[in-house]
Homo-oligomer: A and B are copies of this chain.
Amino acid sequence: MLTATPTDRVWRALADPTRRSLLDVLARRPHTTAELVERFPDLCRTGVMKHLDVLEEAGLLMVRREGRVRWNRMNAMPIQRIYDRWVSKHVRGMASAASRFKEHVESSHKPKTRRKGRDR
């Protein structure tokens, strides 16, 4: 992927379940790399670091070095961005499609005992 846009890097970063898991952990509080490695026993340290690199490239992770430790902190802004720019319109679209469908069903069914209004 030679020409990845910032948005694209976010989507790709989120595509991996391990990375989403890492973000779940980091959402609670910042962790050092060693702490994260300890929390993901299925991966070797190098593997964890690679995931962290991807997250950092996507802007989802902020790194601060402090002596010999490295603090990894989550940044949720890019998630907000993909929501605002893409997810939201398809979620809203669905809501309206669903309500159209509901209306369609209700109007074609013509329940005799029930008025068309929202009586629920």
Residues of A within 8 A of B (CB): 5-8, 11-12, 14-17, 20, 23, 27, 76-77, 79-80, 82-87, 89-91, 93-94, 96-97, 99, 103, 117, 119-120
Contact = CB atoms under 8 A, between A and B. Distances in A.
Nearest to A14: B11
Nearest to A117: B5
A93 B7 contact: no
The 7 A-B residue pairs whose C-beta atoms are closest, nearest first, are: A15-B15, A5-B119, A76-B94, A79-B90, A76-B90, A11-B15, A7-B119
How many copies make up the complex?
A: 2
A77 B103 contact: no
Contacts of A6: 119
Contact of A99 (B23, B77, B89): B77
Contact of A77 (B20, B77, B94): B94
20 contacts: A5-B17, A5-B117, A5-B119, A6-B119, A7-B119, A7-B120, A11-B14, A11-B16, A11-B17, A12-B15, A20-B86, A27-B89, A27-B93, A76-B94, A77-B94, A79-B87, A82-B87, A83-B83, A84-B103, A86-B120
